[in-house]
Structure 1
Amino acid sequence: MGTQNLLWRDGGEMSGDHTVTMKLTKRAVDALVAGPERYSAWDIELKGFGLRVSPQGRKTYIVRYRTMGGARRMLTLATSEVLTTEEAREEARRALARVAMGGDPQRVKAERRAEMTVRELCELYMEEGTATKKETTLHIDRIRIKRHINPRIGNMKVTDVARADIQRLMIDVGNGNIRKDATPHTRGGKGAAARTVGLLGGIFNFAVEYGFIEQSPVRGVKRYRDNRRDRFLSPAELARLGDVLSAFEKDGADPRHITILRLLALTGARKSEIACLRWSELDLDRGLLRLRDSKTGPKIIPLGAPALELLSAIKPNGSKFLFPDRRRPDQPTANLDWAWVRIRSKAGLDDVRIHDLRHTFASAGLASGEGLPLIGKLLGHAHVGTTSRYAHLADDPLQAAANRISTRVADALGIGAQE
């Protein structure tokens, strides 16, 4: 590593840089550690293919070449977090092939970087930067890009976006100033604004990783606090909801939607965990749902007797899903959210979301005296700290306890109900 070589940076200036040569493999790349100065490791098989290691441990695949006119270039591919070693090798091989045909990949990349819009960046991010995200998260990301990001900054060049643009977008979404054709899920608000800026942070960090920009414009933006609402139904509200569900069922509403909503209230499961439930995940003999995947990975949901009774009544339908879509049986049922809007309106619960049925389950557990660790296991939380956010939902049992205690004290004091 002590060898000195003259290398050219992207901007064209020369700098001294420590270098080593080796066959670049995953194992070799993983073994490289940060030093006091930046250094480069060059592949002994593919001339011009290398890896740059920063003092902070950042590993970036690069390609060194000369143009047909003799100009030295350094093309940045991506970091080792974005591309595997073999993927980077193939990218380098393609870049060097373009050079051999008279091309200049670095100049093309610079031109593309200067012209790329935020809309195009979002498309590239969804294609190449979301490998670790779950499909439910991707679905929400697409909605936020379509409803909140593209209408405001989608046509701006990536290199022109400044922190002030992100700040204005956040305020705009926070105030609910969105497209007129927005759905009930995309009305905006401070919570939606905070999460949209969080998504933009990931998108622009992706742009930094790919070398499109030097620094994310989201960096330094002060976001709204994402005060996620913890709404739960009181016993009286639950009774109203039950009456409405029964009435809709008698009036011919989709029975799948009715059953899903009842199961959500009876299990504390997330919407997708019930709506997308597969027959292979149902274990009636042991009274369990064995989900192959969820927000927190594989998960087991114990079933209470009422939930088990509902599930036992469902007949085989020829689909892999318990609640298949009528038009596309190979897909889970659609339009549950729209059904919920009608149901909650009829029940006078316009501020209640489907997810609040999960909160209601947690609240009912607290009301019956169950501890947070046990409730957390039923909800599938990995840490008790996650469940503790529900602790304040036990307002009704606290009020009941206060009534019992104060009544007992009042009896002892001889005050209260006197004729």
Structure 2
Amino acid sequence: MGSKITLRTVEAAKPSSSDFFIWDTEVHGFGLKVTKAGKKVYVLQFRMGGRGTPTRRHTIGTHASPWQPGDARNEARRLLEQVKSGVDPRKVEQERQRQEVDLRFDRYVQSFLESYAKREWGERTYKTHESNIRRWLVPVLGMRPLASIERRHITETLDKVPIHSPALRRDLFKLIRRILNWAIEQGDLNQSPMVGMRGPSKIAPRNRLLTDQELQVILAHTHEEPEWAIWGPFIRLLLITGQRRGEVAGMRWEELDHNEKVWTLESKRTKNQHVHQVPLNDLAIIELDILGQGAAWPRRGAVFQHKPETSLAGFSKMKARLDRIIGEADLELKREWRLHDIRRSFATGLQRLHVRMEVIAALQNHRSIHSGKTTEPYHLHDWAPERVEAMQLWADHLKALVAPQEPLELDATSAAGK
């Protein structure tokens, strides 16, 4: 059945008891398939060789926008040019569909995490970004192929972030940019829609310091209730060691050496992916003796856990509870504070005690304050003796602060036996 396929031809075609074809008289191999259900589909029939090769059929599209007879005929001509060049349109379409699935954002980020993130990022950074991808990026960008992502989609993603979380908004912007740039490096994307796109404004550095009086208040109320058997030591060790919240929360017994009085964090547990050794002063030893129920600490396992082999969680609820306890005692802190302010106050406190900046930086696992591509290979002193001295100096300072209540001067042996 042959006729030039026009809009009138298509509309006049009525379904029959079986599928049938109308072949175009203008472009050889171009046709309209009419199914017995009444569906009308534009097709191209062709051979990848001479008469002896099998006939192949490729579906151009269903009659509807954007496929009208003229558009479908032009597409048939384009495909026939491919056939003349030895390219099978069906395989091209199959590859396009495969890429549309494989390069869909929610699938592609899994490849990004496996092939790039796990290799380049530390454990802590990986967990943070993996969580942000799952929580913030996939819900908006997930079903979109990479090539279809536009600036408006990125803006829509960032607009989901609460207004009180500007740092998160900035982090997500950088994360999306890294994913798309990696896709370009892999040859999976030609150009990033973020080229020339201005990121969120920089966040002013936080400079909240806890005064000695505020530290007294916090320390005095970490022994208040039975459920603080975990949270109390956690907060005190944050203040005693000056380390990051996640590092202290993830502390494991196999990282601790009672005899050497040192806590060793592997590179995968640190922000800068460098092994970090924290000297344990006498206050830290007391807290750990209590948690370990004596000086013979457990050989393995998490130091802080609500249930066996479950990581410590619920920091926001714990912090809110501590604030309520302090408020009920009519000893509210002067200003809003966060757990990370403890780390800043630790560093500033050591500075007030005339500890060298290099020693403070080493204690907090920051790269040398004078580091650089030229100078870093020549500055190799690890400040180990000075760090031990500084940590004990800080412990003595804390003991002087809490002398009236003496909450940190518990006898470890007797406390463990209670």
Verify same fold: TM over 0.5: yes
Change (3 A) 1:231 1:152: farther
Q: Report whether the alignment pairs 1:378 with 2:352.
A: no
Q: For 1:112, which of 95, 98, 108 is the aligned residue?
A: 98
Where do 1:341-356 residues align within 5 Å?
Answer: 341-347=320-326, 348=332, 351-356=336-341
Counterpart of 2:303 in structure 1 is 323
Report what 1:234 is aligned to: 211
Count how many residue pairs are aligned between Structure 1 and Structure 2. Answer: 275
Q: Does 1:124 align with 2:111?
A: yes
Q: Does 1:270 align with 2:270?
A: no
Write out aligned runs for 1:216-295 (5 A). Answer: 216-223=192-199, 224-247=201-224, 251-293=225-267, 294-295=270-271
* Structure 2 SS opposite 1:325: coil
Among 288, 307, 311, the residue aligned to 1:311: 288
Is the contact between residue 320 and residue 330 of structure 1 (CA under 8 Å) also seen in structure 2?
Answer: no
Task: Show the 5 A alignment for 1:27-176.
Answer: 104=91, 108-114=94-100, 116-131=103-118, 132-173=120-161, 176=162
Going from structure 1 to structure 2, the CA distance change for 1:322 and 1:166 (only over 3 Å counts) comes to closer
Aligned partner of residue 367 in structure 2, secondary structure: coil
> Distance between the aligned counterparts of 1:240 and 1:72, measured in 2?
80
Q: Which residue of 2 aligns with 1:83?
A: none
Structure with higher RCO (Cα < 8 A, 6+ apart): 2
Consecutive unaligned residues in structure 2, runs of 5 or more:
1-82, 327-331, 372-418
Stretch deviating more after TM superposition (128-137 or 195-204): 128-137
Any stretches of 5+ residues in structure 1 without a counterpart? 1-68, 74-98, 178-187, 387-419
Mapped contact 2:210–2:345 kept (Cα < 8 A):
yes
Q: CA deviation at 1:196?
A: 0.5
Q: Give the equivalent residue in structure 1 for 2:172.
A: 196
1:8 corresponding residue in structure 2: none
**Native 8 Å contact 2:255 2:265 kept in 1:** yes
Post-superposition shift, 1:318? 5.7
Aligned-pair Cα RMSD in Å = 3.2
Look up the match of 2:343. 358
Give distance in 2, aligned partners of 1:342 and 1:292: 32
Residue 123 of structure 1 aligns with an amino acid whose one-letter code is Q
Distance 1:315 1:337, change over 3 A: same
Corresponding position of 1:57:
none
The CA distance in 1 between the partners of 2:94 and 2:185, in whole Å, is 17
Tell me, yes or no, if the aligned pair for 2:301 and 2:309 is still in contact at 8 Å: yes
Given the two structures, how large is their TM-score scaled by the length of structure 2? Answer: 0.58
For 2:117, what is the secondary structure of its paired residue?
A: coil
What code does the residue aligned with 1:213 have?
L
Indicate whether 1:338 and 2:317 are aligned. Answer: yes
Cα shift readout 1:295-340 (whole Å, capped 9, x = no counterpart): 232111112222222223332686723425343x234433344323
SS at match of 1:289: strand
Larger radius of gyration: 2
